[in-house]
Chain A
Amino acid sequence: MHNDTTPAAGGLPHARLLPDHAAGGQRQWIRRNASLYRAGDPVADRVFFIHAGSFKHYRTDETGARKITCFPTRGDFLALDSIGLDRHSCTAVALEDSEVHVISHAILRQQMSILHRLLAQSIREMRNRTVQMHNTTAEQRLATFLLDRARWHDRLEGTPPRYRLPMSRCDIGNHLYLSPESVSRVMHHFKQAGLIVLENRYFALLDVSALEMLATAPHPASPHAAQPSLAFSHSSTS
């Protein structure tokens, strides 16, 4: 199922059509750590196309915990999940100084089939991420995460020598449902094994095929990646 991400590559040129249509539209600069929109803000019938920079997109669940759904970056859209809603249910925070194009729903509607394709791709991407959370080890999740980041960059700028990770280890951990310590430990393990080069927030892939093997090969679930079974922790309530 991992090659399911490839249709997104075919979709990218279409994604580029949209901001061309929106040319002359509004642009917006977002400083690092500032939010583009927060949960509860009015949607105001518009979406955003990221021209430069990157974001973290999170949702607060019923328990009040923030959970990062994705890290949209250059070439991605934001607020596609709020079409038809009055208020945003998620928050988008810039991970670095960023620039977005503001596109109104009316303009999107003129490009209906492109919009539908974009939405369908986003749904599938989210679906694949959910599937990845089932019975996978920390190594598998991180290997997939790094490969996905690298593929995304390759598509945009044609295999740069190294890739940037604008997000913190904590954010990666939140997104992959791992502790920040596990993220650091596994990254270090990848580095020791000669799979990647890691320098602060930059990484390069040394052995793509080994990482791909790691990401896809059936692997007995190791204890540290298993879901913490804390079902008994509330037993006092009954």
Chain B
Amino acid sequence: MYETSNSGSDAASPLPCCECHTRSVCLPADMSDADCTRVSGLLLQQHHLLRGDTLQGVNEPVRGRWYAIRSGQFKSFQADPHGKPCITRFASAGDLLGLDSLDLDRYTDSTMALCDSTVCEFSYPQLVDAARHFPSLARVLECRLSEQLAQQQALALLVRCDYAEQKFAQFLSHQAWQCSGHGDQLPELHLALSRKEIADYLGLTHATVTRMISRLQGLGIISVRYRQLRLLDRPGLHQIAAGRHPSSKGGAGTTSEHAEHHSAWTTLPGIHLPSPE
């Protein structure tokens, strides 16, 4: 368990949901300001976790707690039949933790912060009590649970994908890419997972993940700087995810340069070249 002393000063006055920047993807998503304040009233406290801190460990008692991630990223893992830890979930801002343990006495998996993170603590019994007279909260709770079931199904499918290239491209296309306001509007992603952890999550080897990253970079689909990824060619990524070769046109970077070359050649007078199509 992480140090509760970390929760320090914020525990006294947690930031209300209405002012939180993750409001649109967290519990009060699509709620009016009045409803948002009601959700805010259910917030017990906020915790700050450092990278590597454990939010909940396997076999620790479940105290009816749900955590909403305000910032940061988490991984959940449990032992595979050989006792080796296996990553089963990768959660980021706005995601809820602890949903799947609500009827257990003890946790069957562990959840750990991948980078410095903040979570908001809710009491599940209080949420359910409130939801009985608060229809929009009741809806959010059941939608979140249902959504996580669908995500878990999608992961089961992803692990069963035959080709490493498709698997990795599908994993990347499922991530929440964000357009940062500054500069050119290319979607960006901060991956707090290490390559080893991605390999673990997808059932690949470390070497394969590294190879896939350099291949996508070589194709001009993503650019990577440390753990900061930029998506240069979204259609290209989707094509690889779907098992098709990326087309030579329509993308950014190296692929569009090729297209320009072709058009320049075909317009040269006196030289007859077959069209590139």
Question: Is there an interface contact between A237 and B145, defined as CB atoms closer than 8 Å?
Answer: no
Q: Is A1 an interface residue (CB 8 A)?
A: yes
Please tell me which one of the listed residues B81, B128, B158, B218 contacts residue A1 in the complex, with CB atoms under 8 A apart. B81
3 pairs of A and B residues whose beta carbons are closest in the complex: A84-B143, A83-B146, A119-B145
Q: How far is the CB of B20 from chain A (nearest CB, A)?
A: 22
Chain B residue total in the interface (Cβ 8 A): 64
Which residues on the A side are within 8 Å of B131 (C-beta)? Answer: 112
A-B pair number, CB within 8 angstroms: 176
Contact A63/B100 with A218-B82, A227-B203 known, Cβ cut-off 8 Å: no
Chain A residue total in the interface (Cβ 8 A): 59
Contact A231/B165 with A119-B142, A120-B100, A127-B78 known, Cβ cut-off 8 Å: yes
Question: Is there an interface contact between B78 and A62, defined as CB atoms closer than 8 Å?
Answer: no
Question: Is there an interface contact between A230 and B163, defined as CB atoms closer than 8 Å?
Answer: yes
Q: Is A168 an interface residue (CB 8 A)?
A: no
Task: Map CB proximity to A onto B191-215 as digits: 1 under 8 Å, 0 otherwise.
Answer: 0000000000001110010011001
Q: 6 new A-B pairs (CB below 8 Å) besides A119-B99, A132-B80, A229-B164?
A: A85-B146, A112-B128, A112-B132, A112-B138, A122-B149, A231-B211
Chain B's interface: helix, strand, loop or mixed, by majority?
Answer: helix
Contact A62/B156 with A123-B148, A237-B219 known, Cβ cut-off 8 Å: no
Question: Is there an interface contact between B103 and A120, defined as CB atoms closer than 8 Å?
Answer: yes
Task: Map CB proximity to B onto A214-235 as digits: 1 under 8 Å, 0 otherwise.
Answer: 0110110000000111110110
Which residues on the B side are within 8 Å of A89 (C-beta)? Answer: 150
Task: Map CB proximity to A onto B74-113 as digits: 1 under 8 Å, 0 otherwise.
Answer: 0000111111101011000000000111111000110000
Please tell me which one of the listed residues A82, A127, A130, A136 contacts residue B100 in the complex, with CB atoms under 8 A apart. A127
Q: Across the interface, name the chain B residue whose C-beta is closest to A128.
A: B78
Q: How far is the CB of A191 from chain B (nearest CB, A)?
A: 23
C-alpha spacing A85/B86, complex, angstroms: 30
Q: Across the interface, name the chain A residue whose C-beta is closest to B169.
A: A62
Q: Is B186 an interface residue (CB 8 A)?
A: no
Q: Is B118 an interface residue (CB 8 A)?
A: no
B61-78, CB < 8 A from A: 78
Contact A116/B142 with A229-B208, A238-B219 known, Cβ cut-off 8 Å: yes
Question: Is there an interface contact between A69 and B170, defined as CB atoms closer than 8 Å?
Answer: no
Task: Map CB proximity to A onto B129-144 as digits: 1 under 8 Å, 0 otherwise.
Answer: 0011000001101110
C-alpha spacing A129/B132, complex, angstroms: 33
Which residues on the A side are within 8 Å of B128 (C-beta)? Answer: 112-113, 116
C-alpha spacing A237/B163, complex, angstroms: 14
Q: Is A126 an interface residue (CB 8 A)?
A: yes
Q: Across the interface, name the chain B residue whose C-beta is closest to A175.
A: B160
